[in-house]
Structure 1
Amino acid sequence: MALSFELDPATTPALRDELLDLWVDVTNAGGSVGFVPPVARDDIRPELLKHLVAMVEGRTRLLVGRDEDGTVAATAFLTHNTHRLMRHWVWLYTVMVHPRHQGKGYGRDLLAAAEDAASGLDGVEAIRLTCRGGLGLENFYASCGYKEVGRVPEAIRVAPGDDRDDITMLRPLPRLAA
């Protein structure tokens, strides 16, 4: 069954808790979303609050994918670029699919929904994201139309002696025929 996606849902305490639980579950399953397992809710809460503040300030948009039970199963944050020369693309951050839903094509569905959301933003022509090397994530993103446009070797230290590349990927948005 497919996920249902919503851009900019009402940020209720229940949604905030679901986002926090998703982030914890994804991280503890080995997902590369800014933390290294093991984590608890209190470890991630400050970072989630930064995302929520950016939403209130209008800098970030939240895309939520819900499963057939209505539970948050996937998320991504689209963040506007504030630099005057780079407003034609957005950042895609904290791309997550709950571990129990991985392998069902929901990651591709989430990226397609993010592309649809970004295409609806005035003047946006591309999506950029970064991913952690060493996990094959760049191959997944490439299969979804993203192109590697930059790599900083060993920029991410997940543990002493375990440094990973920071990979930047770009997805130009399809242009609508005039």
Structure 2
Amino acid sequence: MEIIELYNVDESIDELSDLLINVVGEGASVGFLPPLSKVDANSFWESCVRPDVILWIAKAGGKIAATLQLHLCTKPNGTHRAEIAKLMTHPSFRQKGMAKQLMLHAEKRAKQEGRSLLILDTREGDASNFLYQSLGYKEAGRIPSFAQNAEGGIDTTVLYYKMI
């Protein structure tokens, strides 16, 4: 596995969009509902190229297997914190440690950026909760009825934080 920081998405947009469409189609709670169009997926990835967003991909076998973003807070009272966002692993690459390696990579970079607090949220009941807890993230609380799901229901989100 190779972790690569992307400064633009031009060369990777098709693979990134296919990954996003695939995980959303499988029910991932990453801000979208199926069916997700290629146009909307492309638009999302193009919007991620910003100075306050660090975007990584994990490649395996020459293909994008996973991705993660680190959103640096730019508010004057928040320059000590960052948010972990859009951790996605292609279903055929799950349970291979890629998400964990991306998380550790993001934590290291956050420290380099002078950040001491990381925050994130994830859907209650998802396997990602175990990953975050295993990495030392502490539950800060839950928000019921936070996000709609593909079946028409509304799910609770769990907020986590970690001092680094």
1:5 alignment counterpart: 3
Partners of 2:39 and 2:66 lie apart in 1 by 20
Q: Which moved more, 1:139-148 or 1:94-103?
A: 139-148
Aligned structure 1 segments of 4 or more residues deviating by more than 6 angstroms: none
What is the TM-score normalised by the length of structure 2?
A: 0.89
Match of 1:22 among 19, 24, 28: 19
Match of 2:100? 108
Q: CA deviation at 1:136?
A: 4.3
Unmatched runs of 5 consecutive residues or more in structure 1: 174-178
The amino acid that maps onto 2:117 is A
Q: Verify the 8 A CA contact 1:134 1:164 in the aligned structure 2.
A: no
Counterpart pick for 1:64 among 57, 69, 73: 57
Identity across aligned pairs (percent)?
28
How much has 1:26 moved relative to structure 2? 1.5
User: In the TM superposition, what whole-angstrom CA distance separates every residue of 1:10-40 from its partner, at most 9, and x where no partner exists?
Assistant: 4252212221111111211222211223323
Structure 2 CA distance, aligned partners of 1:59 and 1:136?
A: 28
Q: Alignment RMSD, CA only?
A: 1.9
2:76 to 80, 84, 96: 84
Distance 1:70 1:120 in 2: 28
Q: Which moved more, 1:158-167 or 1:110-119?
A: 158-167
CA contact (8 A) 2:121 2:159 kept: yes
8 A contact 1:128–1:171 mirrored in 2? yes
Q: Does 1:168 align with 2:159?
A: yes
Deviation for aligned residue 1:109: 1.4
Q: In 1, Cα distance between the equivalents of 2:63 and 2:148?
A: 33
Unaligned runs of 5+ in 2: none
Given the two structures, how large is their TM-score scaled by the length of structure 1? 0.82
Counterpart contact for 2:27–2:150, Cα < 8 Å:
no
Contact 2:9 2:46 in 1 (8 A): no
Residue 147 of structure 1 pairs with residue 138 of structure 2 = yes
Q: Tell me the CA shift for residue 6 of structure 1.
A: 2.0
The secondary structure found in structure 1 opposite 2:4 is: strand
